[in-house]
């Protein structure tokens, strides 16, 4: 048998094996079941896995990485706990080496940081879930609260940013304490 003919048969056989493996994998992905429930549909994935798991597309191409999308209306940490954990959503809380950060001290600046962090984290969520009206309303409430808190903090303890000097009588930016300095566990 000529070499080229033999190579052609080998290639044809390998192609059939590849196609059958591909078809089998595609079928497995589309009918994967967990306790009789298909996991690639949004409704059943949320019912089986809870808020810590998302749904994958039903026809995901091979060799393309997919990250499951977060579900709407997830459980949320309180702002101070979210600040220590690094995320507002428990489903995204993946501590490195099971190390959990301690909460920040209970001072006004830490509370302001927690509100700002929650607003920023919620804005990242809204980048991928723009249609979630409940989350957008919560985001607007957090922005109002952050603005009010920053104004109160600047009045009591001094400016946080140079923008806070807009209504100041003198240039107090260099005046100690800096926003991150604490005196005896309290600010100011």
The answer on 99 and 42 residing in a single domain is: no
Residues 6+ apart with CB under 8 A from 57: 40, 66
pLDDT tens by residue, 8-61: 555 555 555 555 544 444 444 444 444 444 444 555 555 555 555 555 556 656
The answer on 95 and 18 residing in a single domain is: no
Distance CA 97, CA 69 (A): 24
Is 37 strand, coil or helix? Answer: strand
72 lies in some domain? no
The answer on 108 and 29 residing in a single domain is: no
pTM above 0.85, yes or no: no
pLDDT tens by residue, 159-187: 888 888 887 788 777 776 666 665 555 55
The answer on 145 and 94 residing in a single domain is: yes
Count: domains in the chain: 2
Which one has a higher pLDDT value, 157 or 123? 123
**What pLDDT is stored for residue 10 in this prediction?**
53
Domain that includes residue 39, residue range: 3-52
9 lies in some domain? yes
37 lies in some domain? yes
């Amino acid at each position: 048998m000529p070499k080229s003919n033999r190579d052609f048969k080998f290639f044809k056989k390998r192609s059939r094996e590849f196609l059958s493996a591909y078809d089998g994998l595609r079928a497995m992905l589309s009918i994967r079941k967990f306790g009789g429930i298909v996991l690639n549909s949004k409704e059943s994935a949320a019912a089986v896995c809870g808020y810590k798991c998302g749904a994958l597309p039903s026809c995901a191409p091979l060799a393309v990485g997919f990250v499951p999308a977060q579900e709407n209306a997830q459980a949320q940490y309180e702002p101070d706990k979210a600040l220590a954990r690094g995320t507002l959503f428990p489903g995204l809380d993946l501590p490195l080496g099971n190390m959990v950060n301690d909460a920040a001290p209970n001072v006004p600046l830490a509370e302001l940081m927690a509100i700002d962090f929650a607003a920023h984290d919620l804005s990242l969520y809204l980048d991928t879930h723009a249609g979630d009206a409940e989350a957008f309303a919560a985001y607007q409430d957090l922005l109002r609260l952050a603005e009010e808190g920053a104004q109160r903090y600047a009045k009591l303890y001094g400016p946080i940013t140079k923008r806070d000097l807009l209504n100041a009588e003198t240039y107090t930016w260099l005046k100690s304490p800096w926003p991150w300095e604490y005196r005896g566990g309290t600010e100011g």
